[in-house]
Amino acid sequence: MQTKPQTGAAGSQNTVFVRTFPVLLLGIAGGFFDAYTYVARGGVFCNAQTGNLILLAIGLASGKGLSALRYLVPVAFFILATLVSEGASRLAKRQAERRGDESAAGFRFHFTVLLVEIAVLTAVGFIPTDFPSLLPNAMISSAAALQYHAFRDMNGVPLSTVFCTNNLRLLSGHLYAAFADKDRASLKTAGKYVLFIACFLAGVAIGYFLTAKAGQYAILSVPAIFSLLAAWGLIARRAQKKAGTDSETKEKEIP
C-alpha cells in the first residue's frame, strides 16, 4: 500500500524540516499544545476544530444564543491562519521562481512558519491563566493551523503533526496491507506512524507535567525548542547548499 505526500504548495516540498527528527519534534509539540490548553486554559483541546463546531451547534440548539457564538473565535483563527499559511506558501514559491532557486521555496516557507509559531506561542506564555481563555486558545489554534498546513509529511510519509485521527487511519491501512499482502514497505511505513503517534503522546505527557508545575509559562518550552530547530535548519540548509555547489564544481572539473 503506497501513499504519496501532498503536493502543490511550497510547504509540501522536500526540505530539511521534513526529515524524521524535526517532524517527531513537531509531533511532540502538537501533543503539548492540547495538554497545555486542557490543563491551563479551560479544559479544552485546541488543535482540531471539530469539537468547537459541535459545541457551537449544541449551544445554538439549546437556546444559548449569542454565548454559543464564542466557539466561532478559535474556528475563525484556525481558518485565518490556514489562509495566511497558504498565501505565504505561494509567495515563497513565486519569490524562489524569480530568483531561479525553486528548491528554496519549501525551506523559506517552513522556516517562516516556525518563526511565526515562536512569536505566537511566546506571546501566549505571558498571558495570565486568569485571563479569559478564548484568546490564548485561539492563538494556539492559529499556531496549530500553521503547523498543520506547513508540515504534512515525514520523509515522504503523509501525516498530521497536530492531531492523530488521520494518522491512525493511515496506520490501519498500512497494517492491513502489510499482513494481507505481505507488503514489507507498508509494514515499515506503519512503524513510522507508530513512532510518530508515540511521540505525540509523549508530548501530551510532557505538556501535562510541565503545565501542572509551571502553569502559563510551560508553553514557552515549545518556542525554545522551535528556536533550536530553526537554527539547526539554517545550518543544515547551508550544508546542503554547499554540498550541492561542491558537487557541481567537481562535475565541471571532470574532463
Mean pLDDT over 14-24 rounds to: 91
Q: Which residue has the higher pLDDT, 14 or 172?
A: 172
Give the whole-angstrom CA distance, residue 239 versus residue 150. 23
Residue 6 has pLDDT above 50, yes or no: no
State the alpha helices, DSSP H only, in the chain.
Answer: 20-40, 50-61, 72-98, 103-125, 134-150, 165-180, 184-214, 221-253
Q: Are 26 and 147 in contact (CB under 8 A)?
A: yes
Q: Let me know: does 247 contact 236? Beta carbons within 8 Å.
A: no
Mean pLDDT of 50-58: 86
175 with 183: CB under 8 angstroms?
no
pLDDT in tens, 73-107: 888 888 999 898 888 888 888 887 787 776 678 88
Angstrom distance (rounded) from CA 143 to CA 108: 17
Position 66 scores a pLDDT of 79
Mean of the pLDDT values across residues 33-40?
A: 94
What pLDDT, on a 0 to 100 scale, did the predictor assign at position 69?
83
For residue 252, name the pLDDT band (cuts at 50, 70, 90). very low
pLDDT at position 243 = 79
Which CA distances in Å does 231 have to 93, 112, 234?
A: 22, 12, 5
Q: Is the pLDDT of residue 8 over 50?
A: no
Q: Which of 14-18, 149-153, 226-230 has the lowest mean pLDDT?
A: 14-18
As a whole number of angstroms, the distance between CA 30 and CA 196 comes to 11
Q: What is the model's pLDDT at position 244?
A: 67
**Residue 133 DSSP class:** T
Give the pLDDT of residue 4.
Answer: 45
Model pLDDT, residue 245: 55
* CA atoms of 116 and 12, how far apart (whole Å): 18
Instruction: Identify the weakest region by mean pLDDT among 3-17, 72-86, 111-125, 137-151.
Output: 3-17
User: Which of 31-35, 92-96, 119-123, 221-225 shows the lowest mean pLDDT across its residues?
Assistant: 92-96
Nearest to 8 by CA among 80, 105, 98: 105
**Residue range 118-146: average pLDDT?**
94
130 and 39 Cβ atoms separated by less than 8 Å? no
Give mean pLDDT, residues 11-37. Answer: 89
Question: Where does the pLDDT of residue 254 fall: very low under 50, low under 70, confident under 90, or very high at 90 and above?
Answer: low
Please, which residues have CB within 8 angstroms of residue 253's CB and are 6 or more apart in sequence?
none
Could you tell me how many residues make up the chain? 255
Average pLDDT over residues 168-173: 96
C-alpha cell at 138: 485561539
**Cα separation of 70 and 191, whole Å?**
40
Percent of residues, the chain, with pLDDT higher than 70:
89
pLDDT digits (tens, 9 = 90+) for 226-239: 999 999 999 999 99
Which residue has better confidence, 50 or 35?
35
